[in-house]
Amino acid sequence: MKDKVIQLIKAYTDTFFISPIEHNKSIIILIFNYAPFELLNKKDYAQIDAYYFVSNASYHKAKQLADELKEIGIRVNYKFDLNYKKLAEINSFAGVGKNTLCYLNDFGSRFVMQAIEIEGAFEYLPTNTKLQPQCENCSLCKNACPTGAISDSGFDASKCLRHLQEAGEYITNKDAKSMQNKLLGCDICQAVCPYNKNQAKVAVSEELKSILKIENLLEIALDDKKIKQTFTSKLGKNYAKQKMILPTLLIVAGNSKNQNLINKLATIKNNDNELTVKNSIRALSNLRGDKKP
């Protein structure tokens, strides 16, 4: 049965691990690596990290694999609430960096993990996959982090730009400025990391680039139905929501220095959502060059 399981998994990814856990169960950890996107013009475009697209695609692959495992008689359970970093450290298949991201040979820190719990005690731990970054004498990510989330005291997730994008709270002007044009994700600590330096960037497709043009994206983000239609297949339903896209997009618009956005932003300040109103007022103030938001 183990051979059948491994052959099925290999149809989805060459890099994976199977680790036995308690009560005659095992965890399959699927690894999907990705290349970062080329950076877009901050005046005209919002940026979404490639991670989010690969994460959504890998989620569907994991669910499909789970269905195939069921067909050969294995009881399975897709797991989304696991502490992947803890699993990586316990099984020694990945190292963990100062930015708390996991690292693998060949992939650096740019990969997505998906997990499937299966019945039965299986183990498959390939050798020479763990990359343990030597962070002790390196401060590149700490120095590059615009919000101070990485420090000598450790990693403060509450300061991470990704957390600030998803928290649904009004953030300080300083943190808003640090957001630059980043709509979802940050990637700054990964971009400066020596273990990712040889990874080639990939161009954003013309279709996605058109969507990410701030003027176009504002039209989409003001209509929750359009957001779902545009982003559900690309990012997943959890991110294809107005509350996930619009507040940060308004920060991005305010950082863009693109005064062509002023008229559109002026109509948004009458929105019913308090966070949306606050972010649109600040964005307008930034674009107009007001001394006080």
Task: Decide: 244 and 231 in contact? Cβ < 8 Å.
Answer: no
Q: How far is CA 38 from the centre of its chain?
A: 15
CA angle 39, 139, 155 (to 5 degrees): 85
252-to-118, 166, 196, 204, 279 alpha-carbon distances in Å: 43, 14, 26, 18, 10
pLDDT digits (tens, 9 = 90+) for 173-207: 999 999 999 999 999 999 999 999 999 999 999 99
Separation CA 86–CA 255 (nearest Å): 37
Separation of first and last alpha carbons in the chain: 64
pLDDT digits (tens, 9 = 90+) for 70-112: 999 999 999 888 888 888 878 888 999 999 999 999 999 999 9
Separation CA 67–CA 78 (nearest Å): 10
Task: Decide: 78 and 118 in contact? Cβ < 8 Å.
Answer: no
Q: How many residues does the chain have?
A: 293
pLDDT at 212: 98
How much of the chain, in percent, has pLDDT values that exceed 70?
99
Which pLDDT band holds residue 293 (cuts at 50, 70, 90)?
A: very low
pLDDT digits (tens, 9 = 90+) for 131-178: 999 999 999 999 999 999 999 999 999 999 999 999 999 999 999 999
pLDDT reading at 26 higher than 70: yes
pLDDT reading at 22 higher than 90: no
Please name which of 19, 16, 5 lies closest in space to residue 86, comparing C-alpha atoms: 19
Q: 253-288 in b/e burial notation, b at 16+ Cβ within 10 A?
A: bbbbebeebeebbeebeebeeebbebbbbbbbbbbe
Separation CA 221–CA 242 (nearest Å): 6
Task: Decide: 13 and 32 in contact? Cβ < 8 Å.
Answer: yes
Please name which of 249, 229, 28, 242 lies closest in space to residue 122, comparing C-alpha atoms: 28
Separation CA 227–CA 245 (nearest Å): 8
Compute the half-sphere exposure of residue 169: CA atoms within 13 Å on the CB side of its CA: 10
Which pLDDT band holds residue 32 (cuts at 50, 70, 90)?
A: very high
How much of the chain, in percent, has pLDDT values that exceed 90?
82
Question: How many Cβ atoms sit within 10 Å of the Cβ of residue 4?
Answer: 13
pLDDT at 188: 97
pLDDT at 127: 82
Question: How many Cβ atoms sit within 10 Å of the Cβ of residue 192?
Answer: 17
Which pLDDT band holds residue 292 (cuts at 50, 70, 90)?
A: low
